């Protein structure tokens, strides 16, 4: 079972992600004003999800098409031994513990303006 998190504020207006068997397991809002960039809202809505492993590629593609291209957004999830980090128009998938794979995703996130302290997904 793949598991991940999406910030609903990261979706572009008009996005509509529909995948069979994608399930919301937690939904919550938090004031994150102490850690946002100037372009990001102070309150975020966290959506934790899960789905069968065989939806990983379809989910990554759907998120890459649906994330807003501004404000440095990304989504991520784990599937098996892999970590998938999705930016608008780009997907990174690497084996957990693969430092070069993780570093490539982090560096790409920086080029999009994601604050370094937000590039902290777990392994």
Give DSSP secondary structure letters for 41-94.
Answer: -SEEEEEEEEE-GGGHHHHHHHHHHHB-SSS---EEEEETTEEEEEETTEEEEE
Predicted confidence (pLDDT) per residue in 76-100, tens digit: 999 999 999 999 999 999 999 999 9
Distances (CA, A) of 20 to 7, 50, 51, 71, 118: 20, 11, 8, 29, 30
pTM over cut 0.75? yes
Domain residue spans of the chain: 2-114
Mean pLDDT of 26-40: 84
Q: Residue 109 phi/psi, 5° resolution?
A: -60, -40
Q: What is the rounded average pLDDT of the residues 44-69?
A: 96
Q: Give CB contacts under 8 A, 24+ apart, made by 38-46.
A: 39/70, 39/71, 39/72, 39/113, 40/9, 40/71, 40/72, 41/9, 44/7, 44/8, 44/9, 45/7, 45/8, 45/9, 46/5, 46/6, 46/7
User: What's the pLDDT score for residue 91?
Assistant: 98
Question: Beta-carbon neighbour count of residue 58 at 10 Å?
Answer: 14
């Amino acid at each position: 079972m793949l598991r991940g998190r999406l910030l609903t504020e990261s979706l572009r207006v008009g996005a509509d992600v529909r995948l069979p068997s994608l399930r919301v397991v937690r939904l919550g809002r938090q004031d994150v004003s102490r850690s946002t960039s100037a372009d990001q809202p102070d309150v975020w809505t966290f959506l934790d999800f899960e789905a069968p492993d065989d939806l990983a590629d379809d989910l990554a593609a759907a998120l890459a098409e649906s994330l807003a291209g501004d404000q440095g957004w990304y989504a991520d999830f784990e599937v098996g031994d892999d970590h998938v980090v999705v930016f608008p128009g780009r997907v990174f998938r690497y084996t957990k513990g693969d430092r070069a794979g993780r570093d490539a995703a982090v560096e790409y996130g920086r080029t999009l303006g994601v604050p370094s302290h937000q590039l902290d997904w777990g392994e």
